[in-house]
Chain A
């Protein structure tokens, strides 16, 4: 089906205009103000010149350096574990119609639960006076509830990653399940009739089919976990803390001259997330799309 080119383009832009206006004004405006503030722009403190001092300061700031490593590790591990578990769960549960319906229900159950509630639940579950440690104590595996392994407010960030995985597996899973419903079983049957084994069917039929869904949701998960504040605040420790926590600590510093540092960290977070999204775009254009085109051309 073809429509005339120009009116359609115009119509698309017109339809998109309200959404774009909100994004550009509210989000773009916020980013511009943030960048300005990171250069030291503070209208209520007159007589200060714009400079890159805040960024220079970040380079030899041990708090920010260690925070960057921690944030990156937590976001990466959470994303990878979530993606693997989500794909596994989706593949296991798509079998029967009943299975899929039940799986969808389970997957969608925790989607509306806020991260904050999830984080509080992790605290009650994994904290040293939490349910798990009390159970371990009750069955005599540890001498005191506080003798249980330290999983919250720890250096590794176990509880933070657990919360992210708990919340993001269903998110990726639901999208993968949707991708799996798009005629992939017909293709698998065709491959099977041509003699393809289970591994070959997964590798050459299922995987290419779900890769765009997995990659795009993983990027969203990574960007979110990299920039999330409330979960590491509740479940992390004061030092090293993740970048958003450090940024907010600096932002709520009562000394107004600390404000540019807070904004510089926020800008760095934004920059890194944008980099990841750009990398994803390049990846899908160069690597994933040609494969898809070939597949489409072949059918």
Chain B
């Protein structure tokens, strides 16, 4: 495994030098089809010597290792220094950008790249603080289906070329197979029924935690009889008709949750610790593809399994975006491009990476490379990738998300 990673790293270096050689000729002979490659050459040249400040959620150790190991090394090869700025909530980076813009700093801002999606992207776009229209310049974007609904729109909001796809997250239910049977994890209904027979062994993080918010949306779609009716723009009437039933249901199951539902973990890391310590027996996560590795490492017990509900699981794409006042836009573009390149994605999905699934469309890759991706990530402890993707429910516009978070707080947490 490790030797293959090294070979891959070598391939990237070769590819980069090959690009450099190619460009000298294309510069001499103007060719419209080479315009984008030439555009990226200019970006690479400008990026050389820059330091890119990448603001990203810093709570995932394996992702941090991948970023400060593989990604940093690869960037250094093209003369770009990576500075990972770890944050606990993406909103912190967005706030920093908005604060700087409010102070009149429209260039030379301190945030170069943000790992982002959903509401945070909507906020940046609402404040007109995001760089747009450079996706065609990045060679890696040709491996992605930019017209796919989950990529062309981010939680219902048109991305309009203002963010570069990076990874996809699909949710699943992680559980201890000694405590729950396959029937118990078949649906939200059976999970709640199990919880009522086994009090104290189930919980979810309090929204606005990213994963906790997903858990509430999963319950919401299940209660309302499907996600499809909420696609498109926000419909207050539809929401008002469905939401009270959700809160009634969640309050009914609450006494059987962890600590009798009197409180909820504030963050997903707490939920995962509770599971690792055996305090709870099941939890919903976006990190479906990393479970096998956590079992192999001994963090989670060997009896850990994961499953998707028969009515589907929520999935989404996450992106990297460049604030409009970023000081090192060229270096940020180089980084965004690297993250989306097949070798980097393969490394990320593999045992030495974070176990995340790339936004790359495998159908757009050469067959042998696609097969390499499919071989990765198979583990007896987690749901196979094909099953994860089979019944993926779309994310809905961020108004639904924020309304649900706000109303969950008022109707469930504060009751």
Q: Using a Cβ cutoff of 8 Å, how many contacts connect chains A and B?
A: 73
User: Does B129 lie within 8 Å of A44, measured CB to CB?
Assistant: yes
Question: If A128-B279, A129-B279, A239-B414 touch, does A252 touch B206 (CB 8 Å cutoff)?
Answer: no
A193 within 8 A of B: no
User: Does B102 lie within 8 Å of A150, measured CB to CB?
Assistant: no
- Tell me the nearest residue of chain A to B273, going by C-beta: A129
User: Does B200 lie within 8 Å of A146, measured CB to CB?
Assistant: yes
- Tell me the nearest residue of chain A to B128, going by C-beta: A44
Question: If A44-B129, A62-B414, A63-B414 touch, does A252 touch B266 (CB 8 Å cutoff)?
Answer: no
A119 within 8 A of B: no
On chain A, the residues within 8 Å of B122 by CB distance are 254
- Tell me the nearest residue of chain B to A62, going by C-beta: B414
User: Does A44 lie within 8 Å of B413, measured CB to CB?
Assistant: no
User: Does A237 lie within 8 Å of B279, measured CB to CB?
Assistant: no
On chain A, the residues within 8 Å of B123 by CB distance are 254-256
A223 within 8 A of B: no
User: Does A129 lie within 8 Å of B277, measured CB to CB?
Assistant: yes
Q: How distant is the Cα of A153 from the Cα of B259 in the complex, in angstroms?
A: 10
B95 within 8 A of A: yes
Question: If A146-B279, A254-B119 touch, does A238 touch B91 (CB 8 Å cutoff)?
Answer: no
User: Per-residue 0/1 for B398-413: is the Cβ within 8 Å of any A Cβ (1 yes, 0 no)?
Assistant: 1000100000010001
On chain B, the residues within 8 Å of A155 by CB distance are 262-263
User: Per-residue 0/1 for A230-241: is the Cβ within 8 Å of any B Cβ (1 yes, 0 no)?
Assistant: 000100111100
Q: How distant is the Cα of A238 from the Cα of B405 in the complex, in angstroms?
A: 13
User: Does A237 lie within 8 Å of B266, measured CB to CB?
Assistant: yes
A143 within 8 A of B: no
On chain B, the residues within 8 Å of A254 by CB distance are 91, 94, 118-120, 122-123, 208, 398, 402
Question: If A238-B413, A239-B263, A254-B122 touch, does A45 touch B127 (CB 8 Å cutoff)?
Answer: yes
On chain A, the residues within 8 Å of B129 by CB distance are 44
User: Does B409 lie within 8 Å of A239, measured CB to CB?
Assistant: yes
Q: How distant is the Cα of A249 from the Cα of B262 in the complex, in angstroms?
A: 20
B246 within 8 A of A: no
User: Does B208 lie within 8 Å of A253, measured CB to CB?
Assistant: yes
A251 within 8 A of B: yes
Q: For window 158-181 of chain B, which residues contact chain A by CB distance below 8 Å?
A: none
A42 within 8 A of B: yes
User: Does B92 lie within 8 Å of A233, measured CB to CB?
Assistant: no
Give the number of residues in B that approach A within 8 Å (Cβ atoms). Answer: 37
Name the one of B92, B200, B274 contacting A252, with C-beta atoms under 8 angstroms.
B92
A43 within 8 A of B: yes
Give the number of residues in A that approach B within 8 Å (Cβ atoms). Answer: 26
Name the one of A44, A150, A153 contacting B98, with C-beta atoms under 8 angstroms.
A44
- Tell me the nearest residue of chain A to B398, going by C-beta: A254
User: Per-residue 0/1 for B98-130: is the Cβ within 8 Å of any A Cβ (1 yes, 0 no)?
Assistant: 100110000000000000001110110011110
On chain B, the residues within 8 Å of A239 by CB distance are 206, 263, 409, 413-414
Question: If A44-B129, A63-B414 touch, does A238 touch B89 (CB 8 Å cutoff)?
Answer: no
User: Does B101 lie within 8 Å of A44, measured CB to CB?
Assistant: yes
B400 CB to nearest chain A CB (Å): 13
- Tell me the nearest residue of chain B to A252, going by C-beta: B91
Q: For window 162-216 of chain B, which residues contact chain A by CB distance below 8 Å?
A: 200, 206, 208
B39 within 8 A of A: no
Q: How distant is the Cα of A256 from the Cα of B398 in the complex, in angstroms?
A: 13
B265 within 8 A of A: yes
Name the one of A45, A237, A249 contacting B263, with C-beta atoms under 8 angstroms.
A237
On chain A, the residues within 8 Å of B89 by CB distance are 252
Q: How distant is the Cα of A154 from the Cα of B94 in the complex, in angstroms?
A: 31
B373 CB to nearest chain A CB (Å): 32
B103 CB to nearest chain A CB (Å): 9
B264 within 8 A of A: yes
- Tell me the nearest residue of chain B to A237, going by C-beta: B263
Q: How distant is the Cα of A62 from the Cα of B411 in the complex, in angstroms?
A: 12
Q: How distant is the Cα of A121 from the Cα of B265 in the complex, in angstroms?
A: 18
Q: How distant is the Cα of A285 from the Cα of B313 in the complex, in angstroms?
A: 66
On chain A, the residues within 8 Å of B259 by CB distance are 150
- Tell me the nearest residue of chain B to A63, going by C-beta: B414
On chain B, the residues within 8 Å of A233 by CB distance are 266
Question: If A44-B127, A146-B279 touch, does A252 touch B95 (CB 8 Å cutoff)?
Answer: yes
19 further interface pairs, Cβ-Cβ under 8 Å (given A255-B119, A255-B402): A44-B98, A44-B128, A44-B129, A145-B277, A236-B266, A238-B263, A238-B264, A238-B266, A239-B263, A239-B413, A252-B208, A253-B91, A253-B208, A254-B91, A254-B122, A254-B208, A255-B123, A256-B98, A256-B126
Task: List chain B positions with a Cβ less than 8 A from chain A.
Answer: 89, 91-92, 94-95, 98, 101-102, 118-120, 122-123, 126-129, 200, 206, 208, 259, 262-266, 270, 273-274, 277-279, 398, 402, 409, 413-414
- 20 sample A-B contacts, Cβ–Cβ < 8 Å, listed by A number: A43-B101, A43-B102, A44-B102, A62-B414, A129-B274, A153-B263, A153-B270, A154-B263, A155-B263, A237-B263, A237-B266, A238-B206, A239-B206, A252-B208, A253-B91, A254-B94, A254-B123, A255-B119, A255-B402, A256-B123
